Amino acid sequence: CGMIAPASAEADSPGVDDRAPAAGLGTTTVSPPLALPLPLAPRWRPEWVRFDLPHAILSGTSGAAALGLRLFVAAPRPGWKDEVLFDRAFAQALRADDAQTRATLSEASDVLQLGFLMYPFLIDAALVASVIHDDPDLGFQLGLISMESLLVSSLTISATKSFVGRVRPDGEPCPGTTDDYGCRSETTRSSFVSGHTTLAFASAGTICATHVHLDLYGGGWGDVAACAGAVGLATTTGLLRVAAGK
């Protein structure tokens, strides 16, 4: 009679895969490399106030008032040159001896001022924010903030120059007088406040505020250096104006 062969041990053990590797050979599982998170690109945060109508009114009013003061309000006559605290001794200690050196230092301060006026717009707003980080909206907001800062600072400059009437350190009294500067140019009779220094520090403040809250240069030392460099160059601008007798 026919006989049925007994089932194998593997068949009697359900769930066992005969394709599995033999015991003792071991297997190695290779995990995919962990992807490090990329730093977040700087973006304008929702909780920050955007440049809106009140800011536009403040900027426009400040700019118009500054221009009006410079055009229609002359510096007071006869002007004055009295010492305030220790400023005369400080100015004399820094003032360059010869006229040619003073003229060169004055030109250097002009270059620094121009750089401060352009840097927040061309570098931080236009190049870094708009192009490198591909965020034109962020660049637009940064440009408007810089504009507002400079326009409000310009109003401060125009107001003090129009109403204080302090003579520049290199200004000479009118012939036959010792303290009358009325015959001198309006520029000579309007040294306070220093326009170069005020605009330089206004721009430096904007640069620092930008790099404290936005990692435009990747965070860390890059943004710290941007702020520290701006403050250092603003200080240099002021010292150059003193050394140039302005």
Q: Name the residue among 112, 91, 94, 119 with its Cα closest to residue 232.
A: 112
CA distance linking residue 230 with residue 215, whole number of Å:
16
Q: How far apart are the first and last CA of the chain?
A: 126
Give the model's pLDDT for residue 32.
Answer: 54
State pTM to two decimals.
0.78
Per-residue pLDDT of the chain (246 residues; tens, 9 = 90+): 444 444 444 444 444 455 544 444 555 555 555 444 445 678 889 999 999 999 999 999 999 999 999 899 888 877 777 777 777 788 888 888 888 999 999 999 999 999 999 999 999 999 999 999 999 999 999 999 999 999 999 999 999 998 988 888 777 788 878 777 778 877 888 888 899 999 999 999 999 999 999 999 998 899 999 999 999 999 999 999 999 988
**How many CB atoms neighbour CB 155 within 10 A?**
19
CA distance linking residue 106 with residue 113, whole number of Å:
11
CA distance linking residue 34 with residue 14, whole number of Å:
38
CA distance linking residue 158 with residue 13, whole number of Å:
96
| Cβ 87 vs Cβ 228: under 8 Å | no
